[in-house]
Amino acid sequence: MNETIAGRVALVTGAANGIGRATALAFASSGYKVVVSDIDSQAGQATVALIEAAGGEAVFIRCDVSCDAEVRRLIEQTVATYGRLDCAFNNAGIEIEKCKLADGNEEVFDAIMGVNVKGVWLCMKYQIAVMLAQGGGSIVNTASVAGLIAAPKQSIYSASKHAVIGLTKTAAVEYARKNIRVNAVCPAVIDTEMYLRASTDDPKHVALVVAAHPIGRIGTVEEIAAAVLYLSGDSAGFTTGIALPVDGGLTAL
């Protein structure tokens, strides 16, 4: 174990599967104690079991990040369990939209903004309070390439991820002198359950998705986890306020 990591605590929201689970596992394998959080208790507990089976230490705390009281309780229980919070990966998000802007509805708007924007804001609000008290910390938020460029038939989702980048940059500047770094990762299409839900069985569609990435494939959850761990760690000590594309070259086009 890296001695600079021993005793550090990382919190991952949306950690029941996909990018969140992969990142929770990566934090644990690097020596962090991990708080696994999600609304899916069964899958969240499964993530804890995977960490423990690999020799790591983790605990599950259920949380709906769109609810102030639940987020406050999540951070309080994290500190009560491990005494501190060094790194937070605010990854919980939803993508329930597949229509042009004029065909959207208010219920979907409120749901996406509630989790993707309010959820990140609430998490940072309570995480930063702890980090200020303990003298520093690092936060990484999950944005998206949809927060950097247009996303046809996902206008609300795209707006939510643009907002995450705005929150990230503003918090980074506000707390830079307090030893708190805040960054975001912006994945392109990643091989997750979310991608499978959004994709179709049409081989032509799959081929178009792959072709959109100059690198010639979609990404893996482990590749996003690696980026999050870099931004969270001491090697990125001079890095704050960035929205890092992890996108196979998609936004370079």
Number of alpha carbons in the 13 Å side-chain half-sphere of residue 86: 18
What is the phi-psi region of residue 137: left when phi exceeds 0, alpha when psi lies from -120 to 50, beta otherwise? left
* Residue 157 designated active-site: yes
What are the C-alpha distances in Å from 28 to residues 15, 35, 39? 12, 10, 21
Residue with tokens 């409120």: 110
Residue type, 171: A
Query: In sequence order, what are the residues at sequence separation of 6 or more whose Cβ sits closer than 8 angstroms to the Cβ of residue 193?
Result: 17, 18
Q: Active site residue: 82, 126, 157, 175, which one? A: 157
Spatial distance between the Cα atoms of 91 and 98, rounded to a whole number of angstroms: 21
SS3 label, residue 95: coil
Catalytic residue ranges: 157
